[in-house]
Structure 1
Amino acid sequence: MNKKYLTLTCLAAAFVLNPLFASPPEGKGKPDDAAMKKMESQEKKAHSEMKKMEGDEAKMKKKAKSEEDEAEHMAEKSKEKSEKMAKEKMEKSEKMAKEKSDMSDKTEAMHKEAGKGSETGQEMREEHSRKWWKFWGE
């Protein structure tokens, strides 16, 4: 009987102590050193990737800002060029208007002279008002 109790006690102890010596299921329980090191290396890797992404993001922002500045500069340059062209066009039209008014003053003077004075005076005026390149009377 003593042997029976001893065998039974040993078997009971084996069943009770078995879970204590068994390794815990995957992902449950306290992690061991290898798992801790693996987790730390993953965290370091993730941290370095985050820093790299932040650096890339800063570079992209800087590049976008420089492109935006360049676009603004080009727009400003284009605006200045169009304003300059408009100013030149305005000056040219004013100059042509002035020349046209000068020409109309001369023609008005010729019309006023046409009916004045004697016939010989009119002939003399016509003779003197001929263009220099017209050598033969036309």
Structure 2
Amino acid sequence: MNKIIEFLIYLVLVTGIAYGLHYFVLHMYDQDHWWIGTGYNLTSLYLYGSISSLVILFILVGADFAMPKHLGFIFLGCVGLKAIAGYIFIQSGLNLLENNFIELNFLGVFFLYMFFDVYIAFRLVNKEINLVEK
């Protein structure tokens, strides 16, 4: 249970800091007007990323408890499903604007949360090494 709380705190921190920086950069360079009329906004991108990472977090922690030897394969399956869900989420915004504004912002958010998922999987897979070193 302590792992879940620790990872949730990390998720909230990553989301808050990244969202704030992303919003600040778009506002500073006067690029936030591109969202108008697209049906997307920065909040929806971060909401998709954080919810998908939250689901993967619960799946990985549950798999670590139930079948720790297969955690890597479960992680790969989750990443594949997350990529498919991401495509479905952003599909109506593809090629909507000439400057690929939506695609680039989505990819930035997607890879941010993908790195977070990799970090979680890395910590869960390598927990035995930490126990042996102590």
Q: TM class, shorter-chain normalised?
A: under 0.3
Comparing both chains, which one has the higher relative contact order based on Cα–Cα distances under 8 Å and sequence gaps of 6 or more?
2
Q: Which has more radius of gyration?
A: 1
What is the TM-score with the length of structure 2 in the denominator? 0.23
